[in-house]
Structure 1
């Protein structure tokens, strides 16, 4: 790209830097960089940045050009939704689903996943960082509304990364009906193909709202049960979340996973803290006192940054996997696992009822 300082600068429609695939539909077998909403936001913020700092605008434009090139390269890999002969073997969506069902184990699955899946994840992460930086730039320039919208889209993209983990966890759960596991595997193929997912659109706003409310409504560690916090959070959620609370909170694993989510520490740490507070006759402590009473540094509080959300999710995920592997006390799944499983169950039940009603 030419040196922007050396020319008369004009506002640039960011569409110039996208190919015709920028707003391709989910039905097309293409990884897309930005959704239409994200595309519009980027197209709105870039001219504002250009007016303030041409070199900063150029760096953002160059990054988007790089994302376009990466997406183009990924799209040259065979579709995961079609039949292909690959290096002497035949791959179909069914064979991929069978492989996910039959060959998942407790180790790292990176080398077992299709190349297109791993490459697409890299593109997703690069896009998240780009949206996040654009959001910070918008905030710096006083464009609060744009900054908030870009932050929301960054978090929404993060949920695509999170839901991949959830699908892999649920597929690997042999206690689940095979019908469900195959459905999650198909959803995973669709996610890898497009890096967008209908479940994310349904689930992400709820979990994001719970995360936000968690920081505001759970300021003290008293009985560690989180009952009042949970009730206040639930009153602000949609009907499906309320149904989830009513149906599933009686199950020990779900309750324990919810406590981990609310308090930001592990089941084991919650158990230790409960016993310590009971022994010392202390009714409640603040978040900043948790490390002192546990005798170790813990990050019981976290901001609303998408990296904090995902980081603490992965801690809960890894702890749950370890418990399941060693068959020890505590939740074997994360709250996100339980909630997406519940959404799947509800959708299946609705499909059956709709079929019988015809």
Structure 2
């Protein structure tokens, strides 16, 4: 007989998440499927392993406060200085152990929700009412990871004012210190709401101005402040292009080639098919869940921006999310 679903006293799953997982466990217990006990065992063992990881996280020293080792002092200021020596290939060598274990915990939680999603599919080929809740928790993990990536990028950027980098590290420390209790939806509702809205819209390309995408973003619950930032009268070219990438879902270089195609053909508007734009976020894939593709949607833009900065190429050197968060961290640090 499979052991009942149980949570460690210091579990990283909050009460609502626990309720969702218990509901799935109950469905498996009551299922007449010959595989139900095997599926239930997979769920309970996975939750147990995540609990062990949360317990391990609690054993590492807190991020806040200073620590001394001989003549060496570690604190917020030393971390701000240290991260300027890091890049995407070496960032984990500069992070506190608690931050690295915490990141692993978020990914372990994500995989638990991915497992739960597939368990529901095994129970019924039809979409189960609990699937929507499971997807909500999946995206919460993705948004937390994305927000951390955005903040880390700002903290590593030596071209950004120190006070803004300090603010980014402050938020990173809060993530690392309490990620078992809070995620991006608590710390950065602006980003979470914007990402949630973006994944609901489908690209139309049109005139490449992104007007229809902006309207759909707002209608889908995007934080108006995100759009307002890119509606400023003195927006520079890099910011405008980063916003276009966010709206249309392809690189600046691809957008420019589409614009050239429209000019050469005398066309003022194109469909995604005519422009050769595949809306990856709208694709149904049996291999990867949409939440994974959404993370890739950010990372591809981020890596392209980093490459432009490294090689001093034209085009945005940051993602739209980085531009917005730098602005809000600047505003917060000024208050």
**Counterpart mapping for 1:54-203 below 5 A:** 54-85=37-68, 89-100=72-83, 102-105=84-87, 107-138=89-120, 140-141=123-124, 144-195=128-179, 196-197=183-184, 198-203=186-191
**Counterpart mapping for 1:164-243 below 5 A:** 164-195=148-179, 196-197=183-184, 198-213=186-201, 215=202, 218-219=203-204, 221-236=205-220, 237-243=222-228
Structure 1 stretch displaced more, 194-203 or 84-93 = 84-93
Compute the TM-score of the two structures, normalised by the length of structure 2. 0.84
Tell me the C-alpha RMSD between the 2 structures.
2.7
**Which ranges of 4 or more aligned residues in structure 1 deviate by more than 6 Å?**
none
- The 8 Å contact of residues 80 and 165 in structure 2, kept in 1 or not, is answered as no
**3-state SS of 2:56 partner:** helix
Shift of 1:206: 2.2
Change (3 A) 1:248 1:89: farther
Give distance in 2, aligned partners of 1:63 and 1:133: 9
Shift of 1:189: 1.8
Change (3 A) 1:249 1:19: farther
Residue 18, structure 1, aligned to residue 7, structure 2:
yes
1:275 to 260, 285, 289: 260
1:123-166 C-alpha deviation (Å, 9 max, x unpaired): 21121011122134335545733211110111011111111111
- The 8 Å contact of residues 260 and 266 in structure 1, kept in 2 or not, is answered as yes
Give distance in 1, aligned partners of 2:248 and 2:70: 49
Give distance in 1, aligned partners of 2:95 and 2:322: 20
Change (3 A) 1:276 1:163: same
Paired residue total: 318
1:148-192 C-alpha deviation (Å, 9 max, x unpaired): 111011101111111111112112333433211101011112212
Residue 319, structure 1, aligned to residue 314, structure 2:
no
Give distance in 1, aligned partners of 2:104 and 2:328: 28
